[in-house]
Amino acid sequence: MHFHDIRHTFASLLLNKGKSPVYVKDQLGHSSIQMTVDIYGHLIPNSNRDAVNSLDELSLDKDNLTMAKNKL
């Protein structure tokens, strides 16, 4: 077993348990939600890949919270 296998299993288990793709992105250190969804999107229960991909446009830091709310 390689480190990458453990990492992949970790992400897969989180998503199968219903954890947020954004949370998984942060745990894996991906630079964008797009990368996470491209690799693990098929594991997100009841997902719509386009809806998840749109999360990359949202920034929930303090400076952009208003902008993110306006997009919703």
Q: Is the pTM of this model over 0.75?
A: no
Residues 6+ apart with CB under 8 A from 44: 15, 21, 37, 52
Its domain, for residue 65, covers: 3-71
* N-terminal to C-terminal alpha carbon distance within the chain: 42
pLDDT for 62 beyond 60: no
**What is the dihedral angle through the alpha carbons of 48, 36, 26, 61, rounded to the nearest 10 degrees?**
-60
Number of structural domains (the chain) is 1
Report the C-alpha gap between 51 and 2 in whole angstroms.
32
What value does the mean pLDDT take over residues 39-65? 66
The residue that leads in pLDDT, 63 or 13, is: 13
